[in-house]
Amino acid sequence: MSEPENLAYYIYALVEAGSAAPVVEGVLQNTQVDSVPVGAFNVLTSLVPRSLFDRAHEARKTSDLAWMAERAAAHHRVTCMAVREGPCLPLAFGTLFSSQSLLAAWVHSKTEKLISALKQIQGKVEWCVSIEENEGQLNTWLELNDLELQRLVGNAADAGVGTVFLLSKLIDKARTMARTKHFKLIETKINDRLGLTEWPVIVERRRDGVPSWSFVAAQSSGSQELILSTISALGFDLGPSGVSLRVTGPWPGYAFAQSVLREETQHV
């Protein structure tokens, strides 16, 4: 099979065989989304100029955040539409294949895993819980509740200028340690609570180490209410320390798909 060298297949998701393409604009303006049979699945795809995406090409636009944001929004609209139509395993934002034969080879190489994943995600959506902090309120709370930090702050209050300067370094260090300890306790608490649910939980970390939690749950209003009430109850206890929990969703199974394919992933 030969394709024009200047084009590539942008892949949104794998869906059940025979599924129609959602009627929505593709990742680029004026591009359509096609549903192409590949092995046991259909793949939602658009033909795009590879020069826009290829990092080796001068015409690439992948360092343009505004452009990328529009592409991300378009990618998301396609996957959301697909989820509403049936089971949908969203692939990575920015997944491109240079030919259908390579796409087919990839799908064939992991058909069983993909069938299993598509079955697991059927009728499910993904939710994400993240931690947000009010820095001022958190610092005040730490000074009141961490004994070492409390002691240092107390000493600084009665110290001379030079000593205060030295103590300020120790206070910063103690505050960082107290924050880390507090967040670790929060993480344990959330892990324990979510561990009691039937939702398979995926823990991800920001670059600063603060975790977020993703899980798939039934696509129903009852399930949604349970999720929101569970997280709300968890967040209630954290409020006084200036930490809150934020729920976003329902999402297509982005983190779920990543976790399924994680072992296939190497960073390049």
Q: Which stretch binds other proteins (CB under 8 A): 36-44, 51-59, 162-170, 236-244?
A: 51-59
Identify residue 188 by its one-letter amino acid code: T
* Cα 128 from Cα 212, distance rounded (Å): 7
Interface residue with other proteins among 17, 59, 102, 166 (CB under 8 A) is 102
Interface residue with other proteins among 42, 212, 230, 241 (CB under 8 A) is 212
Q: Which stretch binds other proteins (CB under 8 A): 81-89, 160-168, 188-196, 234-242?
A: 81-89
Q: What secondary structure letter does DSSP report for 91?
A: P
CB 48 within 8 A of CB 7: yes
* Cα 173 from Cα 178, distance rounded (Å): 9
* Cα 228 from Cα 222, distance rounded (Å): 10
CB of 158 to other proteins, least distance (A): 38
CB of 35 to other proteins, least distance (A): 18
φ, ψ dihedrals at 138, nearest 5°: -65, -45
Q: Does 77 bind other proteins (CB under 8 A)?
A: yes
Half-sphere exposure of 171 (CA within 13 A, CB side): 18
* Cα 250 from Cα 268, distance rounded (Å): 31
Q: Which is nearer to other proteins, 71 or 182 (CB)?
A: 71
Q: What residue has token string 């206070």?
A: 171
Q: Which is nearer to other proteins, 181 or 246 (CB)?
A: 246
Note the residues at the interface with other proteins (CB under 8 A).
Answer: 8, 11, 50, 53-55, 60, 62-63, 65, 68-70, 72-73, 75-77, 79-81, 83-84, 90-98, 102, 105-106, 109-110, 125-126, 128, 204, 206-207, 212, 214, 219, 224, 228, 246-252, 254-255, 257-258, 261, 264-268
